[in-house]
């Protein structure tokens, strides 16, 4: 029983730490000072912030120095109202909070009745006074409407400036999701902190980024560099802070499909219909949808979405050298001649010269294990893999020299799913849960009796 309580306590502690981290990194805050027209501070003024999409309210009071602060605010559009006895009510509308922003909004109240209201429409960007980093927000309009090859939101990081695609090199492997290596301000690609909804979003095997949600489920993200705030202290180069969409008081959704098919492409400028192939073979279908709305108005909201990306392509063949029919009979004279090499090669024992023909292997020299393995290797010049020069390929790649044409299909499939629930307990407490799934599959169709598993071209 004590052990169960211990683990339960640890779980609560971890959850509270994760929640605190998420609030610090992905949410915003507003600070300011309330004064009268003579410059004197106003204490105990009521400050109320209302999110226009969800109706959620956040309240605070100015202290003895006239200062107020509203913490842990989700990004979105807000109206900010300040009231105090003996002064007109002051309202600022259209305040936009981006991810991780900390604007300072000051108020100067005019003496009058509380029933009198002064409304100001916020049109200019609020001054950022709290953060030491230099950042650029990529908002939801840019995320959805800017053209993206494959609809990968990571490509938009380049819009932040001082950013370029880096060479992943040894960092990329089959152990991590295929993503783009990004270098910001000359930093290493694995020196960038990626954050999604306040949680670390770096791949544990190489410290590159994990996949981002599809654009339709991504609210916005911010790229920060220079003197980063303390919460990003574990990465030196930059921070990419992303936030998923959440539901609102209105039901919203969309469905989509993006198609790229070589059958719809125009002929390349340097290609002709006599060239084979004269068009690329890429087929890409990318489809999905999102839907979100209220469960309890002003209190409980949901959002969900999915996307499926199917890619099929068969690139031009490459050439692989394998044993020939003659080699399987013990005759290595052709593959070692000048017809297949810059200069003739003489093989050492047990190869001998028989009847004046060099590089002959005596019968019975092959091991039984090697012969068993050859059942799964293409044999150049056999009925299944004849001379490729008949296909109009380069004359050097002949079956006599041991070459067969192979194709490696570029087939892949990626599936994404996002689910999120937001619940407002009070004006000071709110919780949310988000689930994100990304699956990448790149199967290579096996070819019968071909261990190269590269779909060798059989004629």
88-103 tens-digit pLDDT: 999 999 898 888 788 8
pTM of the model: 0.72
* From 243-257, 302-316, 387-401, 433-447, the region with the lowest mean pLDDT: 387-401
Q: How many domains does the chain have?
A: 3
Instruction: Answer yes or no: is 257 within a domain.
Output: no
Question: Within this chain, do residues 114 and 139 fall inside the same structural domain, yes or no?
Answer: no
Instruction: Answer yes or no: is 347 within a domain.
Output: yes
Least Cα distance to 459 among 401, 406, 409 occurs for: 406
Question: Within this chain, do residues 193 and 146 fall inside the same structural domain, yes or no?
Answer: yes
| 266, HSE (Cβ side, Cα atoms, 13 Å) | 3
Instruction: Answer yes or no: is 214 within a domain.
Output: yes
Question: Within this chain, do residues 91 and 159 fall inside the same structural domain, yes or no?
Answer: no
Q: Measured between alpha carbons, how far is 392 from 378 in angstroms, rounded to an integer?
A: 20
Instruction: Answer yes or no: is 110 within a domain.
Output: yes
Question: Within this chain, do residues 156 and 234 fall inside the same structural domain, yes or no?
Answer: yes
Domain with residue 45: its CATH number is 2.60.40.10
- Which of residues 403 and 248 earns the better pLDDT score? 248
CB atoms within 10 A of CB 272: 8
Instruction: Answer yes or no: is 398 within a domain.
Output: yes
Domain region containing 352:
318-406
Best-predicted range by mean pLDDT among 137-146, 197-206, 361-370, 430-439?
430-439
Question: Within this chain, do residues 239 and 337 fall inside the same structural domain, yes or no?
Answer: no
Residue 54 CB burial class (10 angstroms; 0-12, 13-18, ≥19): buried
Question: Within this chain, do residues 153 and 217 fall inside the same structural domain, yes or no?
Answer: yes
Question: Within this chain, do residues 219 and 144 fall inside the same structural domain, yes or no?
Answer: yes
The residues pairing with 412 across neighbouring beta strands, listed in sequence order, are 311
Question: Where among 406, 422, 442 does a domain terminate?
Answer: 406
Question: Within this chain, do residues 138 and 162 fall inside the same structural domain, yes or no?
Answer: yes
Question: Where among 121, 144, 166 does a domain terminate?
Answer: 121
Instruction: Answer yes or no: is 279 within a domain.
Output: no
Cβ partners under 8 Å of residue 17, min gap 6? none
Question: Within this chain, do residues 172 and 208 fall inside the same structural domain, yes or no?
Answer: yes
Instruction: Answer yes or no: is 145 within a domain.
Output: yes
What pLDDT digit, counting tens, does each position of 291-305 carry?
999 999 999 999 999
Domain with residue 230: its CATH number is 2.170.130.10
| 191, HSE (Cβ side, Cα atoms, 13 Å) | 14
Question: Within this chain, do residues 163 and 111 fall inside the same structural domain, yes or no?
Answer: no
Question: Where among 368, 387, 406 does a domain terminate?
Answer: 406
What pLDDT digit, counting tens, does each position of 251-261 carry?
999 999 999 88
Going by pLDDT thresholds of 50, 70 and 90, the confidence category of residue 320 is: confident
Instruction: Kindly state the greatest CA–CA separation across the chain.
Output: 118
- Mean pLDDT, residues 397-403: 80
Whether omega for the bond prior to residue 262 falls within 30 degrees of 0, making it cis, is: no
The residues pairing with 284 across neighbouring beta strands, listed in sequence order, are 260, 311
Can you give the pLDDT at residue 321? Answer: 84
Is residue 423 within 8 A of residue 300, CB to CB? The reply is yes
Strand residues in 98-209 grouped as ranges (E): 107-109, 117-121, 133-138, 163-165, 182-184, 192-196, 199-200
Question: Within this chain, do residues 26 and 51 fall inside the same structural domain, yes or no?
Answer: yes
Least Cα distance to 208 among 168, 150, 237, 244 occurs for: 168
Average pLDDT, the chain: 80
Cβ partners under 8 Å of residue 320, min gap 6? 378, 403, 404, 406, 452, 454, 456
What pLDDT digit, counting tens, does each position of 180-222 carry?
788 888 888 888 889 999 888 988 888 888 899 999 999 988 8
Instruction: Answer yes or no: is 305 within a domain.
Output: no
Question: Within this chain, do residues 91 and 162 fall inside the same structural domain, yes or no?
Answer: no
């Amino acid at each position: 029983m004590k052990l169960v309580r211990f683990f339960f306590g640890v779980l609560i502690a971890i959850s509270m730490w994760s929640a605190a981290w998420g609030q610090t990194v992905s949410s915003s805050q507003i600070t300011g000072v309330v004064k009268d027209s003579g410059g004197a501070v106003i204490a105990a003024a009521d400050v109320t912030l209302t999110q226009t999409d969800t109706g959620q309210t956040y309240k605070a009071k100015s202290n003895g120095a006239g200062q107020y602060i509203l913490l842990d605010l989700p990004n979105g559009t807000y109206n900010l109202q300040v009231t105090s006895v003996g002064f007109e009510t002051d309202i600022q509308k259209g305040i936009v909070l981006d991810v991780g922003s900390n604007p300072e909004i000051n108020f100067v109240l005019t003496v009058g009745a509380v029933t009198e209201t002064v409304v100001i429409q916020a049109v200019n960007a609020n001054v950022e006074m709290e953060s030491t980093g230099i950042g650029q927000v990529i908002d939801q309009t840019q995320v959805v409407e800017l053209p993206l090859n494959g609809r990968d939101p990571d490509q938009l990081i380049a819009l932040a400036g001082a950013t370029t695609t880096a060479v992943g090199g040894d960092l990329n492997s089959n152990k991590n999701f295929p993503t783009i290596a990004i270098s910001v301000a000359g930093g290493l690609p694995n020196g960038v902190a990626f954050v999604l909804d306040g949680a670390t979003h770096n791949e544990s095997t190489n410290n590159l980024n994990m996949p981002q949600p599809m654009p339709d489920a991504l609210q916005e993200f911010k790229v920060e560099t220079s003197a980063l705030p303390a919460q990003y202290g574990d990465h030196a180069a930059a921070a990419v802070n992303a936030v998923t969409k959440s539901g609102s008081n209105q039901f919203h959704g969309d469905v989509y499909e993006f198609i790229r098919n070589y059958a719809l492409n125009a002929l390349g400028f340097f290609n002709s219909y006599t060239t084979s192939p004269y068009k690329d073979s890429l087929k890409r279908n990318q489809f999905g949808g999102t839907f979100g709305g209220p469960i309890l108005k002003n209190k409980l909201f949901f959002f969900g979405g999915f996307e499926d990306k199917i890619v099929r392509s068969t690139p031009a063949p490459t050439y692989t050298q394998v044993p020939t029919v003659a080699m399987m009979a013990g005759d290595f004279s052709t593959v070692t001649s000048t017809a297949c090499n810059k200069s003739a090669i003489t093989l050492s024992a047990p190869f001998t010269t028989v009847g004046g023909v060099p590089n002959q292997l005596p019968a019975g020299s092959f091991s039984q294990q090697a012969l068993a393995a050859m059942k799964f290797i293409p044999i150049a010049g056999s009925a299944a893999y004849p001379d490729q020069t008949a296909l109009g390929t380069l004359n050097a790649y002949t079956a006599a020299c041991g070459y067969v044409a192979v194709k490696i299909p570029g087939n892949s499939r990626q599936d994404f799913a996002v689910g999120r629930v937001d619940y407002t307990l009070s004006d000071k407490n709110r919780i949310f849960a988000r689930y994100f799934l990304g699956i990448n599959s790149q199967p290579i169709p096996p070819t019968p009796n071909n261990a190269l598993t590269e779909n060798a071209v059989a004629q």
